[in-house]
Amino acid sequence: MSAADGGGTTTLVVRVENKAGVLARVAGLFARRGFNIESLAVAPTDDERFSRLTIVVGVDAAPMEQVVKQLDKLVNVVDIRELNPSASVERELMMVTVRANPEIRGQILDLVRIFQATVLNVGYDEIMVSLTGSPSRVDDFEDLLLPYGIVDVQRTGKVALPKLVKAAPDPLAP
């Protein structure tokens, strides 16, 4: 099972100061401890002083604790959340250009409809589409497009937020 399937991966959401070189510090720390980063998404936050890194790593639990603690020691790292896949909502964006001569374009559009993907651009014998979804759904879509011939594919790496509380608050609580 690959890490992209969610097998033995952990997602770390790391809030860092938005300063030059911070990404190198974080990436360097993973490299020094022998961890391979499966995917990494970097984005600004609502507070312009900070950025958010969503890092997917394939790991065992024990050394992960060490990496989190070492990460936390970086002066520019503000806080770290470890997101368990079952307790979080995960999304990933894929853009893909597929070979699609006019005769088979319809088949691809079927898939686009089924997956509620979006057509971004159409050429004579190629089509560019995008899909946002859970990483496994994006995997499925990519697998189904594969036989048609993928010309180019770009995935963002996943981003995630924790799932929300479902139970209503106790009406009798003060």
Partner 1 sequence: MNMNGGQALMKALENEGVDILFGLPGGAILPVYDPLIDSSIRHVLVRHEQGAGHMAEGYAHATGRPGVAMVTSGPAATNIVTPLCDAYMDSIPMVVVTGQVPYAAIGTDAFQECDTTGITMSVTKHNYLVTEAADIPQVIHDAFYIATTGRPGPVLVDIPKDIVDPNNPRSAMEWYTPDSHDLPGYLPNQAGDAELIRQAAKLICEAERPVLYTGGGILKSRGAEALLELAEMTGIHVVTTLMNRGGFPDDHPLCLGMPGMHGNYTAVTAMQEADLLIALGARFDDRVTGKVGEFAPLANIIHVDIDSAELGKVRRPDVAIQGDCRVVIEELVKALKEMGGSEAQPDRNQWRSRISGWQERFPLTYEQSKGDELLKPQYVLEQLRDSTPSDTIVASGVGQHQMWTSQYWKFNHPYTWVNSGGLGTMGFAIPAAIGAKAGRPDRMVWAVDGDGCFQMTAQELVTAATEGFPIKVALINNAYLGMVRQWQEMFYEERYSEVYLTRDVPDYKMWAEALGCVGLRVESPEEVGPAIAQANEIDDQPVVVEFRCEAEENVFPMVPAGMSNSDVVVDPSQRDQPR
Q: Which residues bind partner 1 (CB under 8 A)?
A: 16-17, 20-21, 24-25, 28, 32, 49-50, 65-66, 69-70, 72-79
Report residue 156 as tokens. 């963002």
Establish how many alpha carbons lie within 13 A of residue 36's alpha carbon, considering only the half-sphere containing its beta carbon: 7
5-43 b/e (C-beta count within 10 Å ≥ 16 → b): ebeebbbbbbbbeeeeebeeebeebbeeeebebbbbbbe
Taking the complex as a whole, the smallest distance from the CB of residue 136 to partner 1 amounts, in Å, to 33
Taking the complex as a whole, the smallest distance from the CB of residue 30 to partner 1 amounts, in Å, to 12
CB nearer partner 1, residue 32 or residue 163: 32
45, 17 in Cβ contact below 8 A? no
CB nearer partner 1, residue 30 or residue 141: 30
Taking the complex as a whole, the smallest distance from the CB of residue 32 to partner 1 amounts, in Å, to 6
Cα gap 109→116, rounded to integer Å: 10
CB nearer partner 1, residue 21 or residue 174: 21
Taking the complex as a whole, the smallest distance from the CB of residue 158 to partner 1 amounts, in Å, to 24
Long-range CB contacts (within 8 A, 24+) of 121-125? 121/97, 125/99, 125/100, 125/101
128, 118 in Cβ contact below 8 A? no
CB nearer partner 1, residue 76 or residue 130: 76
CB nearer partner 1, residue 21 or residue 34: 21
Taking the complex as a whole, the smallest distance from the CB of residue 46 to partner 1 amounts, in Å, to 15
